Structure 1
């Protein structure tokens, strides 16, 4: 007797494939954003602060 739980389910397979694609895309966007933010953070930390122009007194 065959086990019905081991039978292939095309609907479940398509659903999991779509979910995997969505999660992969989301992960890619999150990693790109995190990399951009870390580069921005290090750039701000390693550059000297901007000098302010003094206002002339009248």
Structure 2
């Protein structure tokens, strides 16, 4: 006697294919967002580092005098 659990089920196959497609899409979007955030963090860190080092080389800003 054949095992009924090993028999092919077209409905289960379609359901799993759909679930796999949705999971793949969600995974792709999550990876893309992670990469965007990592790029933004690197750009912001680089900008802060450049501002820190170039700020030490620039002359101090003059204070504006108030007119009476």
User: TM-score, length-normalised on structure 2?
Assistant: 0.72
Q: In the alignment, what sits opposite 2:28?
A: 28
Residues 36 and 54 (structure 1), Cα distance of their counterparts in 2 relative to 1, 3 Å cut: farther
Deviating above 3 A after TM superposition, structure 1's stretches of 4 or more consecutive aligned residues are 53-57
CA RMSD of aligned residues (A): 2.1
Q: CA deviation at 1:57?
A: 3.9
Q: Structure 2 regions of 5+ residues with no counterpart?
A: 56-60
Q: Indicate the structure (1 or 2) with the bigger Cα radius of gyration.
A: 2
User: TM-score, length-normalised on structure 1?
Assistant: 0.84
The count of aligned residue pairs is 57
Q: In the alignment, what sits opposite 2:43?
A: 43
Deviations 1:12-46 (A, max 9, x none): 00000000000000000000000000000001101
Q: CA deviation at 1:4?
A: 0.5
